[in-house]
Amino acid sequence: MGTRIPDEKIEEIRKASDIVDVIGDYIQLKKQGRNMTGLCPFHGEKTPSFSVSPDKQLYHCFGCGAGGNVFSFIMESEGISFIESVQRLGERAGISLPELADGNQSDSKEKKREKYWMGAHELTVKLYQHVLLNTEEGKEAREYLENRGFDQNMIERFQLGFAPDSWDFLTSFLMRRNYDMDEMMEAGLLARREFDKKPFDRFRNRVMFPVWNRDGKAIGFTGRILGEGNPKYMNSPESSLFNKSRILYGFHLARPSIRKKNEAVLFEGNADVISSWRAGIDNGIAAMGTALTDRQVKMIKRNADKVLLCYDADDAGQNAAYKNAELLEKAGMTVRVAKMEEGLDPDDFIRQKGAERFRNEVIDSSLTYMGFKFRFFRKGINLQDEGNRIEYVEKVLQEISKLPRAVERDHYIRQLADEFNLSLDALKQELIQNFKARKQKEKRTSGPVVQERKPFAAQAGKRLLPAHANAERHLLAHMLRDAEAAVRVEDKLGAAFNIDEYQAIAAHLFSYYGEGNEPSVSRFMEKLEDEKLRKIVSELAMMTISTDLSEQELNDYAKRVLNYPKRLEIEKKKQEQRAAEDARDYTEAARISMEIIKMEQLLKDSMT
C-alpha cells in the first residue's frame, strides 16, 4: 500500500504554494484584469490562452483545455504522481513530510537511484573544490584559472574544482563513505578497468566544471585537461541522470535574470558562460553540445521571448548559430546573433579586450536573425563573380519572403537593393513571386486539417452554447463556490443535468458537500479521478458569474434544464409526423399534430 499524506498536510502545502509563483517558475505570466495570462506550456501557441487565477488558485488553458490546481500543474509539467507533486511543493515551501521520511514508497527504484547518485555528485563537487582552493595539489589549477581571469567569486558561484592526477583519489574517498562502487561507475563518477573490472577515477588532472539540472542539483561534470592531453574537454557519460539533451549549463543560476530581462544569451561553452558573468552578462547559458534539442528550446521559451546567440566566429560556430536560430525562431522567439571577432571565442574576447568592449561590441551590436543571414550566406562566396552574386541575391530573397511582416520585408529588400545597386521594383516583383509560390506550396503540402472530435462539454469555450448547456454550466459554477447553492440546485433538479459530464460533476459535488467539506475548487478537483472532468471543472471555476445565485436566476436556469428533454420529445414527434405524411397516413399525421400542439402549449406554460 502506498504512503498516505494526511489531508491537513496537503492543505498546508497547497496554502503555502501560491499558484502564480509556482507557474511563474515555468512560464512568463502577465497581469490581465484579475488574472494572469501567458503562453500555455502544454501545447504550442503564439497567442496567450493560458489563464491563472490568484483568487481561485487555479489555471485553465482555453486553447487545449488543460486545467487544475497547483498540484496538477506540477504533475502535468513534470510527468510525476500526485504524491511526488506534494513532496516537491513541500520541499519548495520548506514543509517536512515525515510520512515520506522512511523510504518513500511512491518513489520508483529509478528515482531512489537518481537521488543516491546526486548525493554522490554533490559530495564530489565539494571534494574537488576543496582540492582546488585549499591544497598544494590544486596550486597549478588555481594558477591556470587566475591566468584566465577566474577570481574567487567566479570559482565559488560556479563551484569549480580540480581532480588530481590520480587513479584512485575519488574512488578511495567514495569507498570510505560506503558508496556502492558499481553504482558510482553507473553514475559516471568512476570508470571500470578492462582487465580486472575494478573501479578507477574517470576524471584525472582536470579542472572540473560541475553540471546541474534545472533545480541546481549536481548531475555530472565537464573536465578540462590541465596542460597537454586529449581529449581537451571530457563530459560525464550519458545516463538516466546526465542527459545532455535535457541540460542547459548554468540555467538555474541564470533563470531569475532571464525572466527579468525576458532574454537569454546562449553560448557554446561553459567557460563562455562563466566569463560573461564576470562581464555583467548574468543571463547566459550554454547547451551541452552545438545543436539545441526541442526540450532545450522549450526550457528557454518558458522563461523568455528573446534569445541572443553568442557563438564562435569559425565555420562550426556560425553553422551552429544558423541552425539553432532557425529552431528558436520556429518556436516563436525573437532571435539575435552576436558579431564575434574572427579567431576569438567570448572567453578569449573578454580576457583580451575587457568586459566593456564585449558588452558594447559583441552583445549590444548583435544582428537580427535576418541581418545575420545576410552575412552568413556570403561566407566563402566570391561576390565579385556575377553568377555567385545572382545566386546570393536569390537566396536572400527567398529568406526575406519568409518574413511575416510586410514592413520587415520592405526594410531588407531596400537594404539588398542599395548594397548591390539593383532595381527596387525588380526585387519587389521577384519577392512577390517568391512569396506567392511559397504560400501555394504550403497550401498544397499542409493538406486538410483533421480535428479530433471532443466531448460536448469540452467545446464550451469554442462556440455559442444552447440555452440548456449554458444554464447547466452557470449552475455548476455557482455550486463550485457555494455549498448552499449546491443544496438548492439538488432540491430543484436532482440529477436532471442533460450533459453527461455536467451530470457527473454535479453528482461528485453533491457527494463532496455531503461529506461536510467546505467549498474549495482546488480540493474538490483532487478528488476527481477523471482528467476530463478536472479540465471542465477548471474552466467552470474561471467563469465570471454573479456573486449570489438568486431565486429568479435559479428558477430560470432550472426551467431551461428541465425543458430540454421536452423539446427533444417534441422534435421526435415532428419526425413521426413527417414519416406519417410521407406514408400518406394523413389521419395519423393529424393525430400527432394535435399532440405536438398540446406539448408545445405545456412547454410554453412552464416557461411563464
Final residue of a structural domain among 93, 127, 161: 93
Per the DSSP assignment, residues forming a β-bridge with 207 are: 162, 224
In a domain, 106, yes or no: no
Per the DSSP assignment, residues forming a β-bridge with 235 are: 222
pLDDT at 328 > cutoff 80: yes
Cα–Cα dist 155/138, whole Å = 13
CATH (domain of 337)? 3.40.1360.10
Q: Do both 235 and 278 map to the same domain? A: no
Over residues 240-250, the mean pLDDT reads 93
Q: Do both 469 and 602 map to the same domain? A: yes
The number of angstroms, rounded, from the C-alpha of 218 to the middle of its chain's C-alpha atoms is 22
Can you give the pLDDT at residue 241? 93
pLDDT band at 131 (very low <50, low <70, confident <90, very high): very high
pLDDT band at 1 (very low <50, low <70, confident <90, very high): very low
The helix/strand/coil state of 315 is: helix
Q: Cell numbers at residue 508, please?
A: 461528485
pLDDT at 240 > cutoff 70: yes
The full 3-state SS of 442-469, as one line of letters, equals HHHHHCCCCCCCCCHHHHHHHCCCCHHH
Q: Do both 250 and 237 map to the same domain? A: no
Give the residue, 262 or 209, on which the prediction is more confident. 209
Over residues 287-293, the mean pLDDT reads 87
pTM: 0.66
Side-chain half-sphere of 79: how many Cα atoms within 13 Å? 1
pLDDT band at 454 (very low <50, low <70, confident <90, very high): very low
Looking at residue 385, the DSSP 8-state letter turns out to be S
Q: Do both 235 and 282 map to the same domain? A: no
Can you give the pLDDT at residue 211? 97
Number of domains in the chain: 5
Beta-strand relationship, 306-310 and 263-267: parallel
Over residues 25-31, the mean pLDDT reads 86
What is the overall mean pLDDT for the chain? 87
Can you give the pLDDT at residue 136? 96
Final residue of a structural domain among 93, 128, 148: 93
Q: Do both 603 and 469 map to the same domain? A: yes
Contact 333, 305 (CB under 8 A): yes
Q: Do both 285 and 400 map to the same domain? A: no
Over residues 366-387, the mean pLDDT reads 90
pLDDT band at 227 (very low <50, low <70, confident <90, very high): confident
* Residue among 194, 210, 193, 211 nearest 202 (CA): 193
Over residues 512-530, the mean pLDDT reads 86
Can you give the pLDDT at residue 94? 86
pLDDT band at 106 (very low <50, low <70, confident <90, very high): very low
CATH (domain of 14)? 3.90.580.10
Looking at residue 378, the DSSP 8-state letter turns out to be T
pLDDT at 102 > cutoff 70: no
pLDDT at 210 > cutoff 50: yes
What Å distances lie between residue 324 and 251, 341, 604, CA to CA? Answer: 17, 20, 66
Lowest mean pLDDT across 7-16, 71-80, 161-170, 361-370: 71-80
pLDDT band at 236 (very low <50, low <70, confident <90, very high): very high
Lowest mean pLDDT across 256-270, 389-403, 427-441: 427-441
In a domain, 448, yes or no: no
The helix/strand/coil state of 472 is: helix
Can you give the pLDDT at residue 203? 97
Over residues 582-601, the mean pLDDT reads 87
Q: Cell numbers at residue 186, please?
A: 553507473
> What are the tens digits of pLDDT across the range 346-358?
999 999 999 999 9
Can you give the pLDDT at residue 182? 96
In a domain, 340, yes or no: yes
Residues 6 or more apart in contact with residue 160 via CB below 8 angstroms: 129, 132, 145, 150, 154, 207, 208, 209, 210, 274
Lowest mean pLDDT across 162-166, 474-478, 562-566: 562-566
Per the DSSP assignment, residues forming a β-bridge with 209 are: 222
Q: Do both 538 and 580 map to the same domain? A: yes
pLDDT at 451 > cutoff 70: no
State residue 63 phi and psi, 5-degree precision.
-95, -55
pLDDT band at 64 (very low <50, low <70, confident <90, very high): confident
Domain hosting 20: range is 7-93
Other CB atoms within 10 Å distance of the CB of residue 310: 28
pLDDT at 12 > cutoff 70: yes
Q: Do both 289 and 407 map to the same domain? A: no
In a domain, 147, yes or no: yes
Label residues 272-298 b or e (16+ Cβ within 10 Å = b).
bbbbbbbbebbbbbbbbebebbeebbe
Can you give the pLDDT at residue 388? 85
Side-chain half-sphere of 233: how many Cα atoms within 13 Å? 10
Looking at residue 246, the DSSP 8-state letter turns out to be G
Cα–Cα dist 117/183, whole Å = 8
What Å distances lie between residue 377 and 373, 387, 419, 438, 524, CA to CA? Answer: 6, 14, 15, 20, 58
Over residues 522-549, the mean pLDDT reads 87
Can you give the pLDDT at residue 608? 64
Give the residue, 606 or 414, on which the prediction is more confident. 414
